[in-house]
Each structure stands twice: as structure tokens, then as C-alpha cells.
Structure 1
Amino acid sequence: MASRLRPADPADVADARARVAAGSPEHTDLRLLTKHFLALLEERAPGRSVEVRVPPYAAVQVVEGVRHTRGTPPAVIETDAETWVALATGALAWPDALAGGRVHASGERTDLSPYLPLD
């Protein structure tokens, strides 16, 4: 398995968040924030029972429970980078993202609301 993600430098995160808030994010801003917030999720919800995917940037395994080692995991969450950043920062609530079809979640333990927002 790939190594765990690491949170980004706080100054870089602040700069990227400012550009996102201003409505002018760059591709690199979304990549940095996606990986940063996935790293924070790994710290907050350690485990390997749920795979959180934010293509094309990264995927992590989180939440304690049954561990999978091969193939498709039993629990998968997938969303786009903009939605992930909004969830991580509290700009979007987990139930609203699900209801609006902005997050696709299947399997057990896929409710991330206890861990969000991440900052």
C-alpha cells in the first residue's frame, strides 16, 4: 500500500484556501487541499475499512473495522475535489452532499459526519 499522506504546510494551505474562497482556484490548489484534508482524515479516523476516493488526486483508507487487502474494498466513498474541500472545511454538510448526489457512498461505516469538518 502507498504511504500515508501528510498534511501540507499551513501557509500553502492558507494561500490555496484563499484562492478557492475567491472563486479562482488553480488545479494545484485543489490537489494540495484534497491531499491535505485526506491526510487530516487519516489522522482523525485511523483504520482501513473505508476507502475515500477523490479522483484524480488521491485515495485513502480510513475508519476502524474490517480491513481489506485486495480488490474493491467493502466500503467506498467517492467525490470530486471541490465537494471534498467543501466538506472538509464545513462549507457543505455531509447529509446535504449525500442528498444532492455530490458524494457516492456504499457499504458500512461510510458516514463521515462524525469526522467533519476537518479544520
Structure 2
Amino acid sequence: MRREFTKQTMREAYERSEGLCEGILPSGLRCCAEVAHKKHFDHIIPDALGGDNSLTNCAVLCLPCHGSKTQKIDVPMIAKAKRVADKYRGIRKPSRFPGSRDSRLKKKIDGSVVLR
């Protein structure tokens, strides 16, 4: 279950940001867009990867920076963590091809398919 920031943490993060976006642009510079009305409070280290709800893990972002960070960084990183955990646990997706290890079928050299 996703944990949200407390109101106190959001207030302190907004004060720290001075009303400006804390997102990092691809050029490496800070975004600095004004976020007076449209602001998002984002976990720097995603909650799904063990990030906490402290002020040090809270960033005030504008809508474009939040969407970009979520799509380009957070979602792929969480998906990879799940794949690595599944591999460690021995969980793998069964192959759909006949003749693979997961199939009851066996493909012979002449191309015919028979039951194992």
C-alpha cells in the first residue's frame, strides 16, 4: 500500500522549495518553474523501492517534471526491481514456443512436434 506524505511534511517541503519546482531537467539544471497552484509532492526514492515519507525524500515538482520522472525513472526502476526479485525467487514466465523447456511438446529435427 502506498504511503502518502503528511501535511506537515508537504508544508515544510513547499517552504524549502520557495514555491519553485525542484525537478532536474535533462540538461542537469533545476527546473525552477513556479508551482503555486499545480504542484505534486513526489517520493525521490519511490515508496515501492523502500523510500520513506520523510522531508528528505519529498520533492515538490511541477506537473511536467513529475510525469517525466515517473515515466522515465520510477516505473522502469520498479519494474526492474520486480524482475530481479522474481528471478531470485525462481519465478519465470513460461515460454509459449513448442519445444521450450516449459512445453509438454518436443520439436524434432525434421520439424515435427510430438508430446514429450
Task: Quickly name the TM-score band, shorter chain normalised.
Answer: under 0.3
Q: Which has the higher contact order (CA 8 A, sep 6+)?
A: 1
Q: Which has the larger radius of gyration?
A: 2
